[in-house]
Amino acid sequence: MEEIISKGELNFLQNNQLLQVIKEIELKKDELIDLTKQLISFQTPAPPARNTAEAQGWIEQYLVSQAFATDRWDVYPGDPNIVGVKKGTERKSFQSLIINGHIDVAEVRPEEVWKTDPFTAEVVNDRIIGRGVADMKGGMAAALFVLKLFHEQGIELPGDLIFQSVIGEEVGEAGTLQCCERGYQADFAVVVDTSDLQIQGQGGVITGWVVIKDPKVYHDAMRRQMIHAGGGLSQGASAIEKMMIIIESLQKLERHWAVSKSYPGYPPGTNTINPAVIEGGRHAAFIADECRLWITVHFYPNESYETVSKEIEEHLLNAAKADSWLKEHPPTFIWGGHSMIEDRGEVFPAFEVNPEHIGVKTLAASHQHLFSEKAVIGVSTTVTDGGWLAEAGIPTVLYGPGQLIEAHSINESIEIQELVNFSKVMAHFIFTWCHTKKQAE
């Protein structure tokens, strides 16, 4: 088992470097506020997306000014990822860290009534108001602020530090997945998304299409022959009506999951199957020959989207066998996708937090050091990009400022003191973790 930097060493370093950074966070609070406002001023809502290039260019230059080497590539035209890397002075011997966050924010609908311009942040009653301040430009700004203070204090970390500013999280796009596919790895990762300063894992989400199709098309004048005794057209059916069987079967499975599955921290029945959108038919003068049902499936942190989607398929195919027409024309399935905009599908893998992992313990210790109370280790009721990092084999946690109720809300806001506190915890954690020796092989 790895050992966290010794108390004596840490105290010495704190007195000379880390304590000064934490002091600077308080003294330069206005700089943190201005940085947060700057990020909010970049209008990066998704949808419509394809609008993050200016913001990402600004972050890239910010990282360069803090002596990070940067990597930039387009995930989609107008939507680049930015990764900054600062190699450690003894990188083979000390722990490495990924800090991950998304630059896109929730859309602002025309009917929303804001007290201020959503992209011109204002401070009201010790809170910053602006689109994305809680989800999650506040967390991004605080992390960047800490990196700047480290650079100003001349702090050189033994372990590698990687900062990822990704696109597309709001619409299920694969910004973080592409970072993993590009080969970025670390010993631990912190997604600084909305968690109200709790250390969290998460359940997962996958969307899917259930498709029913009749190989033949019939005029609606043929309906009598399909549904009445003696009609003689038993091989025809309305795909819309047959989809009713599928929806009822999904409801039965959802209720079964509610009593047969559970996970600590979640109310019973959190694992849901939502029939979100239905499309079918071609014209009022024809029997519907095709029907497509778009579903959203939420599952628990100890499950995978592969096994959950397979479970749904098996359940529906068995249900189809009980219907004479569906037995011959079973449903087909399309799962997931890389973008709710491009291909109308998404995946957010689940991940669990191991409280005994040295990275989790170190972060919890930093939290306790600053707050004089134990960190809450639990689960998020929403999803983030953290699942992709965990799926790539990187122990990952969600830990960031902001309350979930503020995410996507009108007049979205965050408490300034929470941003300050988060910055202090992250400074303490980054310093401690990157001074922690790797396990001897």
Which of these, 108, 98, 179, 81, lies nearest to 433 by C-alpha position?
98
Residue 441 has pLDDT above 70, yes or no: no
- pLDDT surpasses 70 at 424: yes
Per-residue confidence (pLDDT) for residue 440, from 0 to 100: 66
Strands of 244-384 (E only): list them. 273-280, 290-299, 332-335, 347-348, 377-380
Active-site entry in 169, 170, 303, 418: 169
pLDDT of the residue at 151: 97
- Report if pTM > 0.75: yes
Query: Is residue 366 predicted with pLDDT exceeding 60?
Result: yes
Catalytic (active site) residue 79: no
pLDDT at 145 (0 to 100): 98
pLDDT at res. 5: 45
State the Cα–Cα distance between residues 113 and 37, nearest whole angstrom. 20
Whether the predicted pLDDT of 111 surpasses 50: yes
**CA nearest 289: which of 236, 348, 213?**
213
Catalytic residue among 24, 60, 79, 104: 104
- Distance (Å, rounded) from C-alpha 65 to C-alpha 144? 11
At residue 383's C-alpha, the angle toward residues 391 and 308, to 5°, is: 60
Look up tokens 């020959």; give the residue.
Answer: 289
Helix (H, G, I), strand (E, B), or coil: what is residue 158?
coil
Confidence of residue 125 (pLDDT cuts 50, 70, 90): very high
For the chain, what's the residue count?
441
* CB 68, CB 165: distance < 8 Å: no
Based on the residue annotation, tell me whether 385 is a catalytic residue of this protein: no
Domains in the chain, ordered, with CATH? 7-202+351-433 (3.40.630.10), 204-347 (3.30.70.360)
Query: What average pLDDT does range 103-108 have in this prediction?
Result: 98
Confidence class of residue 439 from pLDDT cuts 50, 70 and 90? Answer: confident
Q: What is the mean predicted confidence (pLDDT) over 121-127? A: 97
pLDDT at 427 over 60: yes
Read off the pLDDT of residues 161-215 as tens digits, 9 standing for 90 and up.
Answer: 999 999 999 999 999 999 999 999 999 999 999 999 999 999 999 999 999 999 9
